[in-house]
Amino acid sequence: MYVCLRLLKDGFFKGCRPIFGVDGCHLKGAYPGQILVAVSKDGNNNIYLIAWATCEVVNRETWVWFLESLMHSLGSADWSCFTFMSDKHKGLVEALAQVVPNAETRFCVRHIWLEYEILMQQIKELDEEAYDYLNNIPTQHWCRHAFSDNCRSNMLLNNMCETFNAVIRDARDKLILTQMEWMKRYMMRRNNEKWEDSKEITSNLTPYVHKLFQRMSYVSKNCIVQAAKDDTYEVQLKDDQVLVDLGNGTCSSNHWQLTGIPCVHAFACIMDQ
């Protein structure tokens, strides 16, 4: 059984970043199976559930079914602008390659991270197979410097799925229809709380973004800003110096984008000026 409520879909397109966390968790009690979820982040950096499904087993076929159902619900023909974050659940990587081959994919870094340069050689000496496994994971899936800026998120972990799986613990041992009704009511309650909270926002910035800019503003006080022309600025922070183009959202360094931490600091510094 697959569920994607129309209002959740509309809310995703109107106020969420184009990134999906996809994951599955076990059902408990007398009715074994799995709940598959697709979640995103809203403008206040809160978890936003888009779709969920209950299935008997998790494998490539069920993930293909879930992703195809999600694609059909969202009605998007161009998936290259979306990013999928996962922890490489069984069959999921293959399903993503089959259903959304043009989408950007990320792997939760917690599942593959090591103190890379220091330990890789030690791993190779201990277990060549483990070394090859880690060495063959392309950095664009798990390392910030290699991410594209499509989804404008530097997220490295699939915590939003893990958190949501913990939230729905009370639903995971119920009968299927009772479970689905619980999920629907939970989403109604959560989205109503967000709606009421949004009425108290008096600026163009959400509370999360406001706090983020406050922290960045403190760091950006050490930046030296020199206006160049129109929306371009030369920004120096300690030994780093870049040219920031606010109009195009770029920095002169190949490793800096306005979604990355250094350039966001530079952006905050320019705004303070």
Beta bridge partners of 2: 53
Is pTM beyond 0.75? Reply is: no
Same domain, 149 and 220: no
Domain boundary among 140, 174, 197: 197
Same domain, 114 and 95: yes
Same domain, 112 and 216: no
- Say how many C-beta atoms besides its own lie within 10 A of residue 239's C-beta: 5
Helix, strand, or coil (residue 157) = coil
- Supply 213's token pair: 């800019």
Same domain, 161 and 235: no
**pLDDT, greater one: 26 or 144:** 26
For 95-152, the pLDDT digits (tens) are 999 999 988 888 876 655 565 666 777 888 888 888 888 778 777 777 766 677 777 7
Domain contains 202: no
Domain contains 63: yes
| 23 and 87 Cβ atoms separated by less than 8 Å | yes
DSSP helix, strand, coil percent of the chain (3-state; round to 5): 45, 20, 35
Phi, psi of 251 (to 5 degrees): -120, 160
- Supply 142's token pair: 């798990």
Q: What is the number of structural domains in the chain?
A: 2
Same domain, 6 and 111: yes
Give me the helix-helix angle, 60-74 and 92-99, nearest 10°: 40
Domain boundary among 169, 197, 225: 197
Amino acid at 272: D
CA-based Rg of the chain, rounded to a whole angstrom?
A: 21
Q: What was the pLDDT predicted at 261?
A: 44
Same domain, 153 and 263: no
Q: What was the pLDDT predicted at 5?
A: 92
Same domain, 188 and 211: no
Domain contains 246: yes
Q: How many angstroms separate the CA atoms of 23 and 35, rounded? A: 8
Q: How many angstroms separate the CA atoms of 127 and 131, rounded? A: 6
Q: How many angstroms separate the CA atoms of 215 and 201, rounded? A: 19
Query: Average pLDDT of the chain?
Result: 81
Same domain, 69 and 111: yes
Same domain, 250 and 145: no
Domain range for 122: 2-197
Same domain, 135 and 46: yes
Domain boundary among 197, 230, 248: 197
Nearest-10 Cα torsion for 178, 87, 45, 168:
20
Q: What was the pLDDT predicted at 225?
A: 84
Same domain, 134 and 256: no
Domain contains 8: yes
